[in-house]
Amino acid sequence: MKEALNDILVIELGTVLTAPLAGMMLADLGARVIKVEHPNGGDPFRRHAGELYSPHFIAYNRNKESIQLDLQSDLGKADLAKLISQADVLINNYRHGVMQRLGFDDERLKELNPRLVHCSITGFGVGGPYQDRPCYDAVAVALSGISSQIIDPENPFVSGPSLSDNITGMYAAYGVLGALYNRARTNEGAKVEINMLEASIAFSPEGFSQYTQHGMIPHSLSRVAISQSYAFRCSDDRMVSVHLSSVEKFWQGFIQAIERRDLLEDERFTTPALRTKHYQELAQLLAETFVTRTREEWSERLAAHDVPSAPMNNVPEVMDDPQVRHLQSFYEVEHPDRGALTAIHRPVRINGERGPTDKAAPTLGEHSDVIRSEFGLS
């Protein structure tokens, strides 16, 4: 099947996560993505496991090709210019000013390729007091207000997977697709700019609406209380999650599943608004109930009463989940040097298809010779 972006060539000057994720999303839609890496070790994400092919790197670089170019040298810059002149998209997540210092400012890029869609990813955008600061995931998550809505101030610690990095990469791909569609109509290239701070703010708009409309400053329990979301430890020390929302039938089904009809008569919990107000009190009462049965028992009872719920799976459990196996979310791809590797299908089906599945993440410079020959590089 011809994929949506089969004729699109993307040059990725990306390291770690934001730009690599954007490039991988375009590759998953069929684009040819050439990842330009430094000769000395390449993308730093490669080295997270003490070698040059870490699980971190594999996760964000499937369906790409890799070439090593020294962009500090005249030859490397000349080779990059040749690639850019033939590309449809250029993605970079360099800090502000790096592209200019390399000799590839906006004017030069337009001279090389007037139809180029150039996506620039930064931490804080252009100008302003933070322009030249370094930015990583925890920085943007904190500055954007997300941390204040997910971290308990009484027990503050950062946990979980990357948020701002992934959010920004997704928005970057979104911007590139919009610019490519516009180019198809106008035959003109574009500069797509995105920063981690604004991407993170845009990803979580509800808190800002609550504050500007009602003066409410959201905290770590605001959203979960309104949505009536809970996580409970069961008798086998495993956990189950429940999301009751404000739909009355889910509350009624939940009460039947846990056999706690006394809660229906408790004046603190008779309406969604009251259950929100007394969220912590209700959560404590429910926690005492959930430790009386195993996770499997609770999962079966909740499902039988049509309660929105799920076991809190760890990674192996996700991969073995019957619905995940039915969806065939994971697949194996052969790498010539590394053997069979597990990859994740793109979550978007187009006419029932899931995109290319034939390229594992590249080893460093794996395609250098082929690319040099094809594009006439030094």
**Residue whose pair of structure tokens reads 């990803």 in the numeric block:** 203
Contacts 24+ apart (CB under 8 A), 335-344: 335/360, 335/361, 335/363, 337/363, 338/53, 338/363, 341/58, 343/58, 343/62
Residue 321 and residue 302: Cα distance in Å, rounded?
A: 17
Query: Is residue 335 pLDDT above 90, yes or no?
Result: no
158-163-169 Cα angle (round to 5): 150
Please give the full DSSP string across 295-325, using - where no structure is assigned: HHHHHHHHHHTT--EEE---HHHHHH-HHHH
Largest interatomic CA distance in the chain: 79
If you compute the radius of gyration of the chain from its CA atoms, what whole number of angstroms results? 25
How confident is the model over 188-199, as a mean pLDDT? Answer: 98
Statement to judge: residues 301 and 333 lie in one domain: no
CATH of the domain at 300: 3.30.1540.10
Which of residues 257, 287, 311 is at a domain's end? 311
The pLDDT value recorded for residue 10 is: 99
Statement to judge: residues 94 and 199 lie in one domain: yes
Asked if 169 and 18 touch (Cβ cutoff 8 Å), the reply is yes
Residue 63 domain flag: yes
Residue 322 and residue 327: Cα distance in Å, rounded?
A: 9
Confidence class for position 110, pLDDT limits 50, 70, 90: very high
Statement to judge: residues 24 and 136 lie in one domain: yes
Residue 239 is classified by DSSP as E
The pLDDT value recorded for residue 221 is: 87
Residue 210 domain flag: no
Asked if 355 and 2 touch (Cβ cutoff 8 Å), the reply is no
pLDDT tens, residue by residue, 258-281: 999 999 999 999 999 999 999 999
Lowest pLDDT segment from 34-38, 308-312, 330-334: 330-334
Residue 209 domain flag: no
**Please, is 294 exposed, middle or buried when counting C-beta atoms within 10 Å of its C-beta (0-12, 13-18, 19+)?**
middle
* Phi and psi, residue 36, nearest 5°: -90, 125
* Phi and psi, residue 356, nearest 5°: -65, 145
Which of residues 311, 342, 362 is at a domain's end? 311
Statement to judge: residues 178 and 46 lie in one domain: yes
Query: Is residue 1 pLDDT above 70, yes or no?
Result: no
* Phi and psi, residue 63, nearest 5°: 60, 30
Residue 258 parent element (H or E): helix 248-258
Q: Is 11 helix (H, G, I), strand (E, B) or coil?
A: strand
Statement to judge: residues 61 and 153 lie in one domain: yes
Query: Is residue 49 pLDDT above 80, yes or no?
Result: no
How confident is the model over 67-73, as a mean pLDDT? Answer: 97
Statement to judge: residues 296 and 338 lie in one domain: no
Residue 229 domain flag: no
Statement to judge: residues 190 and 331 lie in one domain: yes
The pLDDT value recorded for residue 305 is: 98
The pLDDT value recorded for residue 159 is: 77
The pLDDT value recorded for residue 220 is: 87
Residue 254 domain flag: yes
Residue 184 domain flag: yes
Statement to judge: residues 53 and 185 lie in one domain: yes
For the chain, the average pLDDT equals 95
**Residue whose pair of structure tokens reads 């009463």 in the numeric block:** 305
Residue 141 domain flag: yes
Residue 114 and residue 112: Cα distance in Å, rounded?
A: 7
Query: Is residue 156 pLDDT above 90, yes or no?
Result: no
How confident is the model over 326-354, as a mean pLDDT? Answer: 92
Lowest pLDDT segment from 147-151, 231-235, 258-262: 147-151
**Please, is 304 exposed, middle or buried when counting C-beta atoms within 10 Å of its C-beta (0-12, 13-18, 19+)?**
exposed
How confident is the model over 322-334, as a mean pLDDT? Answer: 96
**Residue whose pair of structure tokens reads 């499902």 in the numeric block:** 303
Q: Which domain holds residue 251?
A: 239-311
Query: Is residue 246 pLDDT above 90, yes or no?
Result: no
pLDDT tens, residue by residue, 200-221: 999 999 999 999 999 999 988 8
Statement to judge: residues 370 and 272 lie in one domain: no
Q: Is 281 helix (H, G, I), strand (E, B) or coil?
A: helix
Asked if 249 and 239 touch (Cβ cutoff 8 Å), the reply is no
Residue 211 domain flag: no
Query: Is residue 48 pLDDT above 90, yes or no?
Result: no
Statement to judge: residues 168 and 270 lie in one domain: no
The pLDDT value recorded for residue 338 is: 84
Asked if 195 and 124 touch (Cβ cutoff 8 Å), the reply is yes
The pLDDT value recorded for residue 371 is: 98
Statement to judge: residues 347 and 269 lie in one domain: no
How confident is the model over 150-158, as a mean pLDDT? Answer: 83
CATH of the domain at 160: 3.40.50.10540
Q: How far is CA 82 from the centre of its chain?
A: 31
How many domains in the chain? 2
Residue 92 parent element (H or E): strand 89-92
How confident is the model over 98-121, as a mean pLDDT? Answer: 98
Q: How far apart are the first and last CA of the chain?
A: 35
Q: What is the pTM of this model?
A: 0.94
Share of the chain above pLDDT 90, in %: 90
Statement to judge: residues 71 and 196 lie in one domain: yes
Quick one: tokens of 175?
């911007």
Confidence class for position 239, pLDDT limits 50, 70, 90: very high
Which of residues 311, 336, 354 is at a domain's end? 311
